[in-house]
Structure 1
Amino acid sequence: MAAWLMLAKDGSKRIGEGYDDSPATHYSWDDTVPNHATVQVGDVIALWDSTELVGLSVIEDIATGQAEKKTPYCLKCGKADVAERKKKMPRFVCWNGECKHESDTAGWKDKTVVTYRSRHEAGWIPARGTLMAPELRALCVKPKSQNSLRELRWDDFKQALTHGSVPLPLRVIDTAHDTIQGGHGTATIRVRKGQPAFRKQLLGTFGNMCAFTGLAPVQALEAAHLYSYAANGKHHKGGGLLLRRDLHRLFDLGLIAVNPQTKTLHLHDDLKPYPDYAKLHDAPLAVAVTADHIKWLAQHWTMHRSASSQPTIPQQSSTPAAALA
């Protein structure tokens, strides 16, 4: 699996440079960036802010276009090989091997560039606090590279995330990649913050009840999709429950799943040392669910639990899965 570390600087700086991106959903670059055309659909995209890892996902789509961009050029040799330095002075240096002119000023001209914009929200996993800048640089194929798009050693990167000081399960990444590469209809199950209307609908159905723990302040409840809403843009019947914010996140990562046969919670071993969570193991759902809920919960179970722990699931009527498009 190919993986890329991409620099997601402060939003205002990115917009000022002509880029339109939001780390959890899309990222932009152009053909002035090294490796610009090497990134492919199905690759892992890992975004960092020069200090720490922000999050990662799998690229579902790359839209290309054209735009006008102001680019600097060397006032001495006239070539567009000049780079702006962030700390060292003079401010600009020409990378033309025959020039190498340094100056506090540069020429600027409009240039037509090819633009690229990834779409990657279906598999997005927030990852702040897991890997810091020195670790990320060391995991690149070329650790000393200064490029904003750097190739990662995927196996080592995955090992560092899943077995680091703050382990991060990556089942969503693996499934999203397989789905995109295979082009089939296997669902990628994720929990997402629902839109206000969807949350309002769930509050009307269940009241202020967390599906896992029961009565909770309405401010602490999030609308959880039981499938990849980002992938298909639809609110499926029985496809949502209200979950307390922390439980929403743990369900997203597969650390909590629902046995679709017994309608009880199943906790990953990583949560069992924590008493407040451990007591939820084998606890029944706190709300009544429909056959449609069970269908989506069964897909989540299949994704996040090994074959040996999966119960026999009653056959459901054929309904299209939420497939990555």
Structure 2
Amino acid sequence: MTAWLVLAKAGSKRVSEGYDDNPATHYSWDNTVNNHAKLKVGDVIALWDATELLGLSVVEDIEVGQAEKETPYCLKCGRADVAERKKKLPRFVCWNQKCKYESDQAGWKRKQVTTYRSRHEAGWIDSRGTLTAPELRALCVQPASQNSLRELRWDDFQHALTHGGMPLPLGVIDTTQQVIAEGHGTATIRVRKGQPTFRKHLLDVFGEVCAFTGPAPVQALEAAHLYSYAANGKHHKGGGLLLRRDLHRLFDLGLIAVSPQTKTLHVADALKAYPDYAKLNGSPLTVPVTDDHLKWLSKHWDMHRVQAPAPTFPQQAPAEVATV
């Protein structure tokens, strides 16, 4: 397994140099960057902002192109390592640690570059709050490196994530890699691109209602797949519910599951120390579900509750929900 730590920092010299980043979907660089040709399809890509880990995914595709790039260089040391400040003066500062020259002017030159742009949206795992900048640097193959693209020690990186106190659905990484290896990358990408339409469909069916807790602001609701969308490669009938973002993550992790027999929530013991989650244990779904929903909920239950006894809470009728 090869993994890379890449810098995606708003307001940094990356932005002033025209790089196009959206951590959850794509990342861009060119052949002026060290290690530019080493990232491959199937590699793990972990993005940080020089402060903390933002998230990680698997590279599904890398678009290669050509462009003309205008870059500033330091008038003192001559290196093309100058950042343009937006607010602070002097306007330019040299990033060369041995120079650090500040000036209101810089030299400019144009050159042809090879551009690279990753696509990695299907397996994206938001990981804010898990690892700090010092922890990430220590997990690099070369901890003292200043490169924007740095190779990570995957085994150590994975261990740090799984023992950091915040559970992450790292199985998504394995699933996405398997899908890519089997040649289904296009299907995987299509699912993510169809996500807004899928969410709109669920809003039309269920209204602005979280299936676990009831009515909620539309901004807080996410379209939750009841199956592994990366593996299936398409949206399935009856394969989704609207969930609050926190509950969506807990459902993906299997910390909350739905008994297909009683249509009630089963909360893992690890969550019962938190009153707001503990009180959900045994609660009925707040929306009506179809046989197709129950089929997918059964698969999720079997995956995460194989050894857990089915809850015996009395079944209650779901609340009436107006459709849109």
Q: TM-score, normalised by structure 2?
A: 0.75
Partner in structure 1 of residue 176 of structure 2? 176
What does 1:312-323 align with in structure 2 at a 5 Å threshold?
none
Task: Name the % identity.
Answer: 65
Partner in structure 1 of residue 278 of structure 2? 278
Number of matched pairs: 300
**What is the DSSP-based 3-state SS (H/G/I as helix, E as strand, rest coil) of the residue aligned with 2:65?**
strand
Determine if the alignment matches structure 1 residue 57 to structure 2 residue 57. Answer: yes
Partner in structure 2 of residue 91 of structure 1? 94
Partner in structure 1 of residue 28 of structure 2? 28
Separation in structure 2 between the aligned mates of residue 300 and residue 116 of structure 1, nearest angstrom = 37
Separation in structure 2 between the aligned mates of residue 219 and residue 162 of structure 1, nearest angstrom = 32
Q: What's the CA shift for 1:262?
A: 5.4
Q: Deviations over 1:105-150 (max 9, x none)?
A: 7643211111111111111111111111111111111000000000
Q: What's the CA shift for 1:292?
A: 2.9
Q: Deviations over 1:178-219 (max 9, x none)?
A: 32234469989x999952x64443333223432123x32344
**What is the DSSP-based 3-state SS (H/G/I as helix, E as strand, rest coil) of the residue aligned with 1:113?**
strand
Residue type of the alignment partner of 1:70:
E
Partner in structure 2 of residue 321 of structure 1? none
Partner in structure 1 of residue 66 of structure 2? 66
C-alpha contact (below 8 Å) 2:169/2:252 kept by paired residues: no
Separation in structure 2 between the aligned mates of residue 237 and residue 297 of structure 1, nearest angstrom = 13
Residue type of the alignment partner of 1:224:
A
Determine if the alignment matches structure 1 residue 122 to structure 2 residue 122. Answer: yes
Which piece of structure 1 moves more, 179-188 or 113-122? 179-188
Separation in structure 2 between the aligned mates of residue 116 and residue 224 of structure 1, nearest angstrom = 31
Partner in structure 2 of residue 139 of structure 1? 139
Q: TM-score, normalised by structure 1?
A: 0.75
* Runs of 5+ unmatched residues, structure 2: 86-91, 311-324
**What is the DSSP-based 3-state SS (H/G/I as helix, E as strand, rest coil) of the residue aligned with 1:108?**
strand
**Superposition RMSD on alpha carbons, in Å?**
4.0
Partner in structure 2 of residue 201 of structure 1? 201
Partner in structure 2 of residue 305 of structure 1? 304
Q: What's the CA shift for 1:18?
A: 1.7
Residue type of the alignment partner of 1:83:
D
Separation in structure 2 between the aligned mates of residue 306 and residue 67 of structure 1, nearest angstrom = 52
Q: Deviations over 1:4-46 (max 9, x none)?
A: 1100010685443121121111111111111111111111111
Residue type of the alignment partner of 2:94:
R
Partner in structure 1 of residue 292 of structure 2? 292
Residue type of the alignment partner of 2:206:
F
Partner in structure 2 of residue 222 of structure 1? 221
CA shift in 2, pair 1:181/1:22, >3 Å: same
Residue type of the alignment partner of 1:152:
L
C-alpha contact (below 8 Å) 2:224/2:248 kept by paired residues: no
